Amino acid sequence: MTKLIRLILFGTVFIGVVLMLTGCDHLVLFNPKGPVGNTERSLIIISFVLMLIVVIPVFIMAVWFSLKYRASNTGSTYAPKWDYSAPIDWIIWLVPVAIVAVLAYLAWSSTFSLDPYKSIPSENKPLRIEVVSLDWNWLFIYPDQDIAVVNELVFPSGVPVSFRLTSATVMTSFFIPQLGSQMYAMAGMQTQLNLLADDPGTYTGQNQEFSGDGYADMHFQVRVTSSAQFEEWVTKVKQSPDRLDLARFEKLSRPTKGGLNILFASVRPGLFEHIMSGYMGWMGDTHKKHMHMERPEM
């Protein structure tokens, strides 16, 4: 009877793990396409396995004790005066302490290795992209190519991408799950994020922060291409009749539900800094003027 119970418990756990792993392809966090996403997936799996060291024995013992010490099982040991076991006491203290220590080390080390402001080592020169969140769209400015697009992020595989992020509205959250690292975009402030995609493909980007009526549709398409395809795309964007100046930006920043898809062949110099300066009155006019007139190099 005891062997049968063990087989049933083992089979149940095994089937549960298999069913969970077969669905990983549908969980984009477990199907990363870049070094940052790969590292974050490993951290999630390691943390999950460490926590299972406590969780699985609890579930097994809950079933095992209920069966072994049921009233109808007259063959079980009856020890009403038993009240202490040194080995059990050591186990219930040392195992959790060891797990917490390992998790603490992982959290400490990954805080530095996954720093979103930290450049990703590569032989290729990073591609600079400026990200501005709107109500309820995303504006992507390519300062080196002098182009901009709305709700479509395109960059080549194998090339580090250096993002600068701000918001022309409330706080939002920029996130490409398969590439990793969620980063907030805040009005009057600049945040940074460095990512890299290993393989060409089409991924989904989204806003994870509730920001009003159009929040649910505030997604953008991420297209990772080859270097040659990226250059072709830049050439295509430069043929657009639209130009992104201050007047055009004012219209673009008005609340709009439903994803826009606009290409801009040129961008007003320093537009990113101009957007930030509109929310930086608390820093004084001198600083605002400095941000407006100068465009810092990254």
The pLDDT tens digits for 1-31 are: 456 556 666 666 666 665 555 545 567 778 8
Least confident interval from 23-27, 169-173, 185-189, 269-273? 23-27
* Alpha-carbon span 109 to 215, nearest angstrom: 34
Q: Which residue has the tokens 């095992």?
A: 64
Residue 288 CB coordination number (10 Å): 20
Question: With DSSP H G I counted as helix, E B as strand and the rest as coil, what are the percentages for the chain, rounded to 5?
Answer: 45, 20, 35
Cα→Cα distances 190→114, 131, 137, 281, 289, Å? 19, 10, 18, 15, 17
Q: Which domain holds residue 17?
A: 2-70+85-113
Per-residue pLDDT at 213: 85
| Total domains in the fold of the chain | 2
> Do both 56 and 151 map to the same domain?
no
Provide the percentage of residues in the chain whose pLDDT is more than 90. Answer: 48
Per-residue pLDDT at 283: 55
Average pLDDT over residues 197-207: 93
- CATH number of the domain enclosing 281: 2.60.40.420
Token pair for 171? 């706080």
Confidence label for 152 from pLDDT (cuts 50, 70 and 90): very high
- Phi, psi of 191, deg, nearest 5: -115, 165
> Does the pLDDT at position 293 exceed 60?
no
* Alpha-carbon span 139 to 153, nearest angstrom: 9
> Do both 103 and 131 map to the same domain?
no
Per-residue pLDDT at 217: 86
Confidence label for 210 from pLDDT (cuts 50, 70 and 90): confident
